[in-house]
Amino acid sequence: MREYNEFEIDPTVRQMIAESQRLPEGPEKVMMLEEAVRIADTGNDVKLQYDAREELIEGAFWSGETEKALVAYTWCLAQFDKNPALFMEWSLLWRYKWIVNIAFHFPQIPKEQIYEMLDEMERRYRRAGYGLRVVYYYRHRIEKFFGNRDAAIEHFNYAQTLARDTLSDCAACETDERVSFQIYCENDDLALDLAEPILLGRQRCRTVPQRTLGHVLLPLARLGRWDEAWDYHLRGYSMISGKPSLLEYLSDHLLFVGLYGDFERGARLLEKHFDWVKQITDQYDRYLFYRAALLFLDILSDSGTATIELRMPESFPLYESGGVYETAKLKAWFEARAREIAEKFDVRNGSDSMTKELAETPDLKRVRRRAAGLLNA
Amino acid sequence: MDYRFQVNLGGIIDLLSHHIYSSPQVFIRELLQNGVDAITARLHAEPGHLGEVHIELPAQVVGQSPSLIFRDNGIGLTEEEIHLFLATIGQTSKRGGLPDDRTDFIGQFGIGLLSCFVVSEEIVVVTRSAKRGSPTVEWRGHADGTYTINVIEREMEPGTEVLLRCKDGSEEYFEPETVRRLAHHYGSLLLHPIRMTTPEGSFQINDEEPPWKGEYSTPALEREAYLEFGRQVFETDFLDYIPLQSSIGDVRGVAFVLPYSMSLAARRTHRVYLKNMLRSEDAEGLLPDWAFFVKCVVNANDLRPTASRESFYEDEALAATRDSLGRSLRNYLLEIAEREPKRLKKLIQLHYLSIKALAAEDEEFFRIFINWLPFETNMGTMTLTEYRREHEVIRYARGLDQFRQVARVAASQSLCVINAAYTYDVQLLLKLREVFPEARFQEVDGDTLSHSFEYLTLDEQDEIERFLKYAEHTLRPFDCLVEVRKFSPEDLPALYTASEEANFRRTIEKTKEVTDSFWSSVLDNLEDGTLEDADGRLCFNYRNPVINKVCRMSDETLLRLSIQVLYVQALLLGHRPINAREMKLLNDGLMGLVEWGADLIVDGVQ
């Protein structure tokens, strides 16, 4: 708890920001930065309030508490518009990307508002003299999310033709985007070729190769390249297993482990990371986790495993103090959670793409590993 | 007819120097590595051969740029093999982690050599293969990609000599002291002698052995040797040392216990040798995440390096090595806990975060350490043993906010509450529950605490009916519920509590004061989906003498003004963000009270 008087607001806030930078991503860091913002707000130094919020945006975003980043960001945006000379435009515009990413992952934010955000992004980038490459990458992502395949492909191709500049995603991120796009277009081989610079360690950044190592698992599995996939799983998982904000990529791993057939590992992943779901407010990330868990449990029950031992937290609605769960019951629970979210998204998106994806999830079992003794099929 | 693209060597050098190698001085490491690899290859054919690497800095000639000669008595290269490495250069960046065979050696030789172009415009390689009857061959390569190969008339023992001539601007890399320092830095653990000759004389660079190779007659001597090694390598007086060994990955080394606390996010820098060559000073992934209380020096003979050869490829071998090294550290901690209470105390004081991190994931370790670990409470920092000695139920608040809400009131009721807002603390407490099912727990927040507040008697309730009605009415627009109870401390007039959702809503409301209509409606939508239990709760303390009087006041205006001021004061006491409406409430309330007081006096005078 901080004691301070009005003359000490600035040093107190700066001190807290410095301290927060030494903390790992997670609730403690976010709490400290929220506190810094609150203290900054007791004074009337707009610059300080802005700086503290920028740190909060950064901390909350990377800690998976994205709605807090969104709220702080809108405040900064408004202050910037009031007094552009006081703040750095580049970093504000850079983080605009995050905000778009955050916003469309919350189903309660309507479609028109997402489009409006993109238009505003385009206006702001243009006015500040930047290119629109990244804007169109985001337009493509969003159309993909909304289930508008043609528009997604069109935006992606257009983005590719625009020049890179300092607001573009870094080279490693763009490679990853191309990999994801080719997976989306069902060109697994091409996707894996494109991923090579990342997989060989020649391109990297804050989220790459972690992201890519998750993305390539399913394509590799589809192509029967299980050994490579397993290696990438080990590599990728060890890089994210301590970072709740990367729940999205973790889901790729859980999905893969189920298909690979390592049930023991799958169970450990499920129980360990179920706890993160509470922490992560991003609805789409939650959906991905529930969906991966559902597939894992589905495979498990296909293999004749009626019960599973899991250490779930007491807050889990199906909590059993003995830690033994019926596979079928668990599966139904995860399926229901995934469906709830998918339905909300579909209503918002005006499409049926997510519920359809969820309904088709069991089809992924076709790509299960058929190792000796693992399957009767 | 097949054609081949001409590889642009200049371009490749540029790429390599900017992307693969972290900095120019690695050319020394690469030359050492080439020499060692060549000796290893020769040892396969001629066991018992005595390998040596020799670095010579000839006396400088006025008007000529300085030069540097690297010599080894390894296997040498034939003309054909020189062509092979040149051909490999173009492909080397293609695949990481090449297999360890002869072609690999030649290919790596080429890449190693390329790194020299960063400091030298021209590289001259004179080599004679150990294969019977091989002539001496000279290769002269230039940074622009041109080269010549000639068989020359020169008698030499099998081996390779590399001559570099200093490029303008790279002079510092040709200073004898720099070369010695760098060669020692990278090669001090190499098994073959590295000799250096300067115009001043000749000496061996790597004449010391790492401490894990030594034999010690007493534990004290061993300790001395290890800590001295740590002092030399890291210029730090470490608290302690932990020998490391893993048969997987063929790893030997030592972890030094830091004499100061490390922050969780700090970079973990260890010195990692691969086959006795220093490869990295910040290799990741070698130790488990929790092991941030040590700095290591390790040598691995059997892990796969990545393409840049500066860190390890994350595979099962590395994962198994990490587990094995993690176990060494863990065993060390367990041993200290058992045998050396004084050192344990010091360790916990400095490195409790690391220990908490391990305890959170390791049950056995947890059982042993949990009672030693410090927790912050509203009655000061204490270990769980101390806590449990005094308090039967373990009470904790999950967030800083909850903790703050309850700290003072709980203390006045002699309830000790752990602030579990810190990293790992909640996990540890939840684990405690699993491991010691007999312990009783209670998560405390403003709500649970206020449940224990004493109710008013029926008479008292009648008395405050009117007050309650006004309070509810005044505060309803602020999403705040109102109660009157009795609780200590008496000097606290009112306690404001709110869930996280309520706090988030407050933040949104405050933000909407500045945002334009578009973003405000985005925020409204965000709020709609996330908030369920979003009301705040203001609990007035009937035991507080002022509140007690206010509750019985009949003047309507005065009642309203007091409630306004008390509400905002409670918010301020709880460090809540105050929005513009609340600010206005406070101002109106205060001004109203002042005016009322002034009127009273003026009227009284009249």
ipTM higher than the 0.95 cut: no
CA angle B340/B343/B344 to nearest 5° reads: 80
The C-alpha of B528 sits at a distance from chain A's nearest C-alpha, in angstroms, of 7
Residues of B in contact with A44 (CB under 8 A): none
The C-alpha of B262 sits at a distance from chain A's nearest C-alpha, in angstroms, of 9
Q: Mean pLDDT over residues A234-244, rounded?
A: 83
User: Residue A36's closest CA among A63, A64, A62, A8?
Assistant: A8
Decide if B129 contacts B78 (C-beta within 8 A): yes
Decide if B363 contacts B436 (C-beta within 8 A): no
CA A309/CA A311 separation, integer angstroms: 7
Q: How do residues B210-251 score in pLDDT, each as one tens digit?
A: 999 999 999 999 999 999 999 998 889 999 999 999 888 889
Best A33, A75, A268 member to test B by mutation, with max B CBs in 10 Å, is A75
Nearest CA in chain A to B431: A313
CA B486/CA B542 separation, integer angstroms: 5
CA B589/CA B591 separation, integer angstroms: 6
Do residue A31 and residue B265 have CB atoms under 8 angstroms apart?
Answer: no
- Mean pLDDT, chain B, whole residue set: 85
The C-alpha of B361 sits at a distance from chain A's nearest C-alpha, in angstroms, of 10
Q: How far, CA to CA in Å, does B449 sit from each of A142, B393, B417, B428, B483?
A: 46, 14, 11, 23, 14
Do residue A234 and residue B516 have CB atoms under 8 angstroms apart?
Answer: no
Residues of A in contact with B515 (CB under 8 A): 74-75, 77-78
**Confidence bin at A376 (pLDDT 50/70/90):** very low
Q: Mean pLDDT over residues A220-232, rounded?
A: 93
Residues of B in contact with A77 (CB under 8 A): 515, 519
Residue type, A154: E
Q: How far, CA to CA in Å, does A42 sit from each of A7, A45, A362, B494?
A: 11, 9, 54, 21
Decide if B391 contacts B418 (C-beta within 8 A): no
User: B 251-310 residues with CB below 8 A of A?
Assistant: 263-266, 285, 289, 306-308
CA B17/CA B167 separation, integer angstroms: 15
Task: Give whichever of B32-41, B75-84, B596-605 has the largest mean pLDDT.
Answer: B32-41
Q: How do residues B427-466 score in pLDDT, each as one tens digit?
A: 888 788 777 777 888 888 887 888 788 999 999 999 899 9
Tokens 């060109």 locate to: A187
Task: Inform me whether the C-beta atom of residue B577 falls under 8 Å from chain A C-beta atoms.
Answer: yes
CA A133/CA A160 separation, integer angstroms: 7
Do residue A24 and residue B423 have CB atoms under 8 angstroms apart?
Answer: yes
Decide if B248 contacts B321 (C-beta within 8 A): yes
Closest partner CB to A235 (pick from B264, B315, B525): B315
Best B366, B427, B511 member to test A by mutation, with max A CBs in 10 Å, is B511
Do residue A28 and residue B423 have CB atoms under 8 angstroms apart?
Answer: yes
Do residue A26 and residue B263 have CB atoms under 8 angstroms apart?
Answer: no
**Confidence bin at B9 (pLDDT 50/70/90):** low
Closest partner CB to A234 (pick from B319, B528, B530): B319
Q: How do residues A294-328 score in pLDDT, each as one tens digit?
A: 999 999 999 999 999 998 887 889 998 888 999 99
SS (H, E, C) B102-127: HHHHHHHHHHHHHHHHHCEEEEEEEE
Confidence at residue B403, expressed as pLDDT on a 0 to 100 scale: 86
Do residue B316 and residue A103 have CB atoms under 8 angstroms apart?
Answer: no
Do residue A38 and residue B575 have CB atoms under 8 angstroms apart?
Answer: yes
Backbone phi, psi, residue A366, to 5°: -55, -30
Nearest CA in chain A to B509: A71
Tokens 């540029």 locate to: B14
CA angle A161/A167/A169 to nearest 5° reads: 70
Whether B139 has a pLDDT exceeding 70, the answer reads yes
Residues of A in contact with B265 (CB under 8 A): 21-24
DSSP one-letter code for A200: T
**Confidence bin at B93 (pLDDT 50/70/90):** very low
A99 alpha-carbon distance from chain centroid: 12
The C-alpha of A336 sits at a distance from chain B's nearest C-alpha, in angstroms, of 18
Whether B5 has a pLDDT exceeding 60, the answer reads no
Query: Long-range contacts of range B10-18, CB-CB < 8 Å, 24 or more positions apart?
Result: B10/B143, B10/B144, B10/B145, B12/B89, B12/B90, B12/B93, B12/B114, B13/B114, B13/B117, B13/B118, B13/B143, B15/B93, B16/B93, B16/B111, B16/B114, B16/B115, B17/B115, B17/B117, B17/B118
Confidence at residue A2, expressed as pLDDT on a 0 to 100 scale: 59
Question: Which of residues A90 and B85 earns the better pLDDT score?
Answer: A90
CA B481/CA B475 separation, integer angstroms: 7
Cβ partners under 8 Å of residue B383, min gap 6: B371, B372, B373, B374, B375
CB pairs under 8 A between A and B: 116
Whether B102 has a pLDDT exceeding 50, the answer reads no
Whether B30 has a pLDDT exceeding 70, the answer reads yes
Residues of A in contact with B423 (CB under 8 A): 23-24, 26, 28
**Confidence bin at A369 (pLDDT 50/70/90):** confident
Confidence at residue B95, expressed as pLDDT on a 0 to 100 scale: 37
Task: Inform me whether the C-beta atom of residue B330 falls under 8 Å from chain A C-beta atoms.
Answer: no
Closest partner CB to A200 (pick from B307, B316, B430): B307
Q: Any bridge partners for residue B536, and if so which?
A: B480, B498
Whether B99 has a pLDDT exceeding 50, the answer reads no
Q: How do residues A124-160 score in pLDDT, each as one tens digit?
A: 999 999 999 999 999 999 999 999 999 999 999 999 8
The C-alpha of B8 sits at a distance from chain A's nearest C-alpha, in angstroms, of 20
CA B400/CA A31 separation, integer angstroms: 7
Q: How far, CA to CA in Å, does B492 sit from each of A72, A142, B498, B547?
A: 32, 52, 17, 9
Closest partner CB to A231 (pick from B265, B315, B400): B315
Residues of A in contact with B93 (CB under 8 A): 202
Do residue A238 and residue B516 have CB atoms under 8 angstroms apart?
Answer: no
Burial B100-129 (b: 16+ CB within 10 A, else e): eeeeebbbbbbbbbbbbbbbbbbbbbbbbb
Q: How far, CA to CA in Å, does B183 sit from each of B21, B55, B68?
A: 17, 9, 13
**Confidence bin at B556 (pLDDT 50/70/90):** confident
Decide if A255 contacts A293 (C-beta within 8 A): no
The C-alpha of B555 sits at a distance from chain A's nearest C-alpha, in angstroms, of 33
Cβ partners under 8 Å of residue B213, min gap 6: none
Q: How do residues B339-351 score in pLDDT, each as one tens digit?
A: 998 999 899 989 9
CA A284/CA A101 separation, integer angstroms: 11
Do residue A202 and residue B19 have CB atoms under 8 angstroms apart?
Answer: yes
Burial A41-52 (b: 16+ CB within 10 A, else e): bbbeeeebbbbb
Closest partner CB to A67 (pick from B96, B510, B530): B530
Confidence at residue A7, expressed as pLDDT on a 0 to 100 scale: 66
Do residue B95 and residue A26 have CB atoms under 8 angstroms apart?
Answer: no
CA B211/CA B129 separation, integer angstroms: 36
SS (H, E, C) B298-360: EEECCCCECCCCCCECCCHHHHHHHHHHHHHHHHHHHHHHHHCHHHHHHHHHHHHHHHHHHHH
Element (H, E) at B33: helix B26-45
Q: Mean pLDDT over residues B96-112, rounded?
A: 58
Decide if B378 contacts B411 (C-beta within 8 A): yes
Nearest CA in chain A to B433: A314
Closest partner CB to A202 (pick from B307, B401, B508): B307
The C-alpha of A63 sits at a distance from chain B's nearest C-alpha, in angstroms, of 13
Task: Give whichever of A73-82, B170-179, B521-530 has the largest mean pLDDT.
Answer: A73-82
Residues of A in contact with B525 (CB under 8 A): 106, 108-110, 113
